Structure 1
Amino acid sequence: MERWGSYCKKDNGRSDGVIVAFDTMTLEISTIACFQAIVFLKEIENF
């Protein structure tokens, strides 16, 4: 399934989003989802 779509992961506990996508629509969706996840994680870290 990974070769189809995309995923957003945290490396070593950091909030750096890594996006892997092979389809433009999937890329758009995953970019938004990954960005939201990064913002959410950074907000948590600030508390």
Structure 2
Amino acid sequence: LIEDLEKSVVFIAPLVVRPGELEMEALAKGAYEGMLGVIPIKEY
């Protein structure tokens, strides 16, 4: 599970620095909340 999260961060991190792309920001926010346990990882 930890490895999967690390791989996700690698792909998501570059998206965070692209302001204006709401879908990308939503994806990054959702994944971040998922890592915090706010939202079940399964949904992604």
| Shorter-chain TM-score range | 0.3 to 0.5
Structure whose residues are more often helix by fraction: 2
TM-score for the superposition, normalised by structure 2: 0.44
Higher relative contact order structure (alpha carbons within 8 Å, sequence separation ≥ 6): 1
| TM, length-normalised to structure 1 | 0.42
Larger radius of gyration: 1
